[in-house]
Amino acid sequence: MKLHWSPRSPFVRKVMIVLYEAGIEDRVTLVRTPVAMDKPNLDLIPDNPLIKLPTLVLDDGTAVYDSAVICAYLNELANAGLMPSEPRARLTAERRQALGDGLMDALLLYRQERNKPAERQTPSWLASFALKTSSVLDALEKEAPGLQAARLDLGLIAIGCALSYLDYRFPDLPWRDGRAALAGWHRGFCERPSVARSQPDDAAA
């Protein structure tokens, strides 16, 4: 298999953590594939017409996307146990994955807007992204005891990657203030070997 990959994408990081947790990283070839909102990578179109990362290509040429679908496939392929089988627990894990992925989507757009020259920024958009970010963080603080008690699954991986992306791209946002329980859970998440191995690397080729 091959994975279209970037060292800075939080969605790619989700997939890498699953690969490490499942112990099947040696079965996947990483293909460095730059993408940007303003510079679509046309070489990616044959494998993903959305021109987005991550994209997994199976040995028979089947393309798999997006990150949630890829993670589910790899989890089942390796029988890694990263998605509960009990219906209620599975629903919770899937909801948490949707929340983590949604936060990452909002943060990507938030960063795009913040990186514009000041005269081109839309204040209402910035306010909306800030509100979504704080609302998700407040909800996660309330849910932190449940995160602490849960076994690692795809939902927790998504949430952990979103919080780590905040640290990586928004170092000026003190998201831990007033959210000690969530900060404590994230600290433990970052101590996992799979998370440490997938740390973004701006120097990667």
> How confident is the model at residue 201, as a pLDDT?
75
> How confident is the model at residue 157, as a pLDDT?
98
Domain map of the chain by residue range? 2-78, 87-192
For the entire predicted model, the pTM comes to 0.95
Q: pLDDT-derived band of residue 202, with 50, 70 and 90 as boundaries?
A: low
pLDDT tens, residue by residue, 95-107? 999 999 999 999 9
Tell which residue, 2, 74, 75, 73, has the closest CA to residue 32. 2
- Give the span between the Cα atoms of 94 and 186, in whole angstroms: 19
Least confident of 38-42, 93-97, 109-113, 142-146: 38-42
CATH code at 2-78: 3.40.30.10
Q: Compute CA distances 179 → 23, 93, 97, 130, 146, whole Å.
A: 33, 21, 20, 16, 14
Q: What are residue 3's DSSP bridge partners?
A: 30, 56
Q: Which fold has domain 87-192?
A: Glutathione S-transferase Yfyf (Class Pi); Chain A, domain 2 (1.20.1050)
Helix residue ranges, H only, 34-192: 67-78, 87-114, 123-149, 154-169, 180-190
Would you say 15 and 77 are in contact if contact means Cβ atoms under 8 Å apart?
no
